[in-house]
């Protein structure tokens, strides 16, 4: 198996052998969340968990949030290339597919090429660990359901997500599944929590029933919904955030 073949690499890049008894933090149902990807981090938001950008968030802000007792979730792009990232030149052109609609400068990645992508993602997770994060939130792991340019299958995507989860756990980091709602049922044992966008708006929240039954946390971002229509309708155990699309500091909850 490819992931097993890469074990020596991941152990080296994470600073030593993998401890089979190692554990990682996982969020609990009922904990309060904040997700902010734009602007300086507002650490005055009363949230137990901050989901923030892996690099753009300053160390000062991360340390301040941690100092207030918050847990930190490291957002990075695992399924699409971003031209502005510091490691953008490390991606071979054959890995880059179609542009993401509405997101200039981003292109889908060929997730079948784990041999080329996992070393890059491992370094990104190393950076998350070094900066004090507790878990990771890898975005755009749903190329199979988009016009990626590669004709990715659900099996291709599942294999990649499982490989990413292993990389995270080897580093003592919790692993969250972003969207990819069709795959949730096959990943209940591998993932530690889920982050969803607009499951109420698209009538998809029930896909998380098995995850919730397993005691795992689910946070949902709703961008254009009236809280009065949402808060009494989502399954018990789901944390709902009402956010602007640009994901600044503004936030409201049920």
Domain locations in the chain as residue ranges: 2-14+75-230
Nearest to 54, CA basis, from 122, 136, 119, 113: 136
Characterise 251 by phi-psi region: left (phi > 0), alpha (psi -120 to 50), beta (else): beta
pLDDT of residue 22: 58
11, 38, 183, 209, 241 from 189: Cα distances, Å: 22, 32, 12, 14, 25
Check residue 18 and give its pLDDT. Answer: 41
| pLDDT confidence of residue 97 | 98
DSSP conformation letters of 123-187: HHHHHHHHTT-SEEEEE---GGGTT-SS---HHHHHHHHHHHHHHHHHTT-EEEEES-GGGGGG-
pLDDT band with cut points at 50, 70 and 90 for residue 8 = very low
pLDDT digits (tens, 9 = 90+) for 47-76: 999 999 999 999 999 999 999 999 999 999
Longest dimension (CA), the chain: 51
In the chain, the N- to C-terminal Cα span, in Å, equals: 44
Instruction: Note the pLDDT tens digit of each residue in 62-115.
Output: 999 999 999 999 999 999 999 999 999 999 999 999 999 889 999 999 999 999
- Record the pTM: 0.91
pLDDT digits (tens, 9 = 90+) for 169-192: 999 999 999 999 999 999 999 999
**Bridge partner list, 137:** 75
Torsion of CA 151, 123, 180, 243, to 10 degrees: -130
The residues near 149 (Cβ < 8 Å, ≥ 6 apart) are 97, 98, 108
Given a contact cutoff of 8 angstroms between Cβ atoms, the answer to whether 147 and 98 are in contact is yes
Q: What is the pLDDT of residue 136?
A: 98
- Band (20; pLDDT cuts 50, 70, 90): very low
Q: Write down the pLDDT at residue 126.
A: 98
- What's the pLDDT at 156? 98
For domain 2-14+75-230, the CATH superfamily is Aldolase class I (3.20.20.70)
**Residue for token digits 């018990």?**
236
Please report the pLDDT score of residue 9 as a whole number: 39
């Amino acid at each position: 198996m490819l992931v097993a073949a890469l074990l020596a690499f991941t152990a080296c890049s994470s600073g030593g052998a993998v401890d089979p008894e190692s554990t990682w933090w996982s969020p609990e149902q009922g904990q309060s969340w904040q997700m902010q990807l734009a602007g300086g981090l507002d650490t005055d938001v009363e949230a137990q968990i901050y989901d923030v950008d892996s690099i753009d968030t300053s160390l000062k802000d991360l340390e301040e949030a941690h100092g207030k007792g918050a847990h930190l979730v490291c957002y990075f792009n695992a399924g699409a290339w971003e031209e502005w990232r510091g490691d953008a030149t490390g991606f071979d052109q054959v890995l880059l597919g179609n542009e993401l609609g509405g997101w200039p400068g981003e292109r889908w990645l060929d997730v079948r090429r784990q041999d080329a992508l996992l070393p890059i993602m491992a370094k990104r997770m190393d950076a998350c660990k070094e900066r004090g994060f507790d878990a990771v939130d890898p975005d755009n792991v749903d190329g199979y359901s988009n016009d990626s340019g590669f004709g990715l299958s659900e099996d291709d995507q599942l294999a990649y997500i499982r490989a990413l989860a292993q990389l995270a756990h080897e580093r003592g980091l919790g692993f969250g599944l972003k969207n990819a709602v069709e795959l949730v049922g096959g990943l209940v044992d591998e993932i530690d929590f889920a982050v969803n966008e607009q499951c109420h708006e698209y009538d998809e929240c029930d896909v998380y029933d098995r995850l919730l039954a397993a005691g795992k946390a689910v946070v949902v971002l709703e961008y254009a919904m009236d809280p009065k229509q949402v808060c009494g309708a989502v399954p018990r155990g789901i944390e709902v955030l009402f956010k602007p699309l640009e994901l600044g500091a503004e936030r409201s909850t049920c």
